[in-house]
Structure 1
């Protein structure tokens, strides 16, 4: 009688908070916040919901941890890539990193705006504040400068992500923008003269380029405000 060779047991990777957070990010990216349930997460991890509760207490904590994981990566990149950069360059790099993170993970924009006192948004605010200080902004104006930059980044980044979600199935961004530009061009010329006039600019614009252009306007305002031109100087 032939002997059966016993297959070695497959050693599963132990369940950890990091694995849970990574799985949650994957679920959020593919299906959105509404699909993030402990049941769905347990199926993805091949475990029971009770095992997940051992590491996180609920959905709010999990969403915060997932957001923090993505933002922490962005902040790490900011620290390593801006060591020798000017303050303006550092702010541009940081802002674009957060913009791209929101674009890749659209649910992050909502989470950052929803929890202003928690660590993900504080990471961004802290890094912006340090760059604002390096820029030489006087202390009384530092909060306003950092807050204005933060609000711009979250506002434009979140709107860009929201626009991406309103595309109809099988409709590309280019098709969506072209359709919107065509609609603008057909507006009443007396009621919407400006909007009609920039319809072609909407059609041809690049989101990241426009984002950086707006950021530069804010940075110019900050630096001009702290170093106003003396009207009495020659």
Structure 2
């Protein structure tokens, strides 16, 4: 018997393979060998299905906990931040849907879940209560913004290959930076090697560390 979980799992797989454009009710019914009525009964409209797929993936990321029994509040934030980063990297359609849900439904499970999971650590970090929202928002904005940079872009992407090789891009960009006038762009020349060799996840965690360190000074 067709279940709600089967529908959602299949929808996520179709989104991963082809983006939002690949997920239609007709395509989903063909994949599952069922009728559209079963889809609407279990998950509702296509837009509701997209929201549910988003909630499912984000919910799994938010359930991530750091290893070890002696985890600190910073460990909790790093664990969930990296889980969200990896989820958006794996599910390239997710960044757009995530942004829509946060803007469109501020009391929905995605928005509330993310802010509660991150913001729930503010008190334990020693952040003054009056700064809890600012601290949590700074982290959430950084996490979603940094993770979304590598996501598939919607709309006009003329001249951009969304499936381009990362190493080739960085090599070409670093070569172009090296051609810049070193007197006019000393910073660009100083970091060109770091840009070419950097690890996205490690860079992301460095950003989290910088924000967490800044939050400690709000005490």
Question: Shorter-normalised TM-score: what interval?
Answer: 0.7 to 0.9
Q: How does 1:34-45 map to 2 (within 5 A)?
A: 34-45=21-32
Greater shift, 208-217 or 175-184, is seen at 175-184
**Aligned residue among 180, 195, 206 for 1:213:** 206
Counterparts of 1:50 and 1:189, CA distance in 2 = 64
Q: What per-residue deviation string (whole Å, max 9, x for no partner) do you get for residues 71-125 of structure 1?
A: 11122223x7475311111111111111011111121111121111221232111
Task: Give the 3-state SS of the residue equivalent to 1:106 in structure 2.
Answer: coil
Counterparts of 2:177 and 2:23, CA distance in 1 = 37
Instruction: Report the CA distance between 1:190 and its aligned residue.
Output: 5.5
Greater shift, 62-71 or 109-118, is seen at 109-118
User: Is 2:78–2:205's contact at 8 Å kept on the other side of the alignment?
Assistant: yes
Q: Which residue of 1 aligns with 2:101?
A: 115
Q: What is the root-mean-square deviation of aligned Cα atoms in Å?
A: 2.1
Task: Give the 3-state SS of the residue equivalent to 2:64 in structure 1.
Answer: helix
Counterparts of 1:181 and 1:152, CA distance in 2 = 25
User: Is 1:167–1:173's contact at 8 Å kept on the other side of the alignment?
Assistant: no
**Are positions 1:198 and 2:185 aligned together?**
no
* 1:213/1:27 CA distance change after superposition, 3 Å: same
Counterparts of 1:83 and 1:30, CA distance in 2 = 37
Structure label with greater radius of gyration? 1
User: Is 1:181–1:199's contact at 8 Å kept on the other side of the alignment?
Assistant: yes
Q: What per-residue deviation string (whole Å, max 9, x for no partner) do you get for residues 141-191 of structure 1?
A: 00110011000000000002348x95465x532112111221222234455
State TM-score, norm by structure 1. Answer: 0.82
* 1:168/1:21 CA distance change after superposition, 3 Å: closer
Task: Give the 3-state SS of the residue equivalent to 2:42 in structure 1.
Answer: coil
* Alignment length (residue pairs): 210
* 1:168/1:27 CA distance change after superposition, 3 Å: closer
Q: Which residue of 1 aligns with 2:89?
A: 103
Task: Give the 3-state SS of the residue equivalent to 1:137 in structure 2.
Answer: coil
Task: Give the 3-state SS of the residue equivalent to 1:20 in structure 2.
Answer: helix
Counterparts of 1:91 and 1:69, CA distance in 2 = 20
User: Is 1:82–1:90's contact at 8 Å kept on the other side of the alignment?
Assistant: no
Q: Which residue of 2 aligns with 1:60?
A: 47
**Aligned residue among 150, 153, 156 for 2:146:** 156
Q: How does 1:130-145 map to 2 (within 5 A)?
A: 130-145=120-135
**Are positions 1:19 and 2:12 aligned together?**
no
User: Is 1:71–1:101's contact at 8 Å kept on the other side of the alignment?
Assistant: yes
State TM-score, norm by structure 2. Answer: 0.88
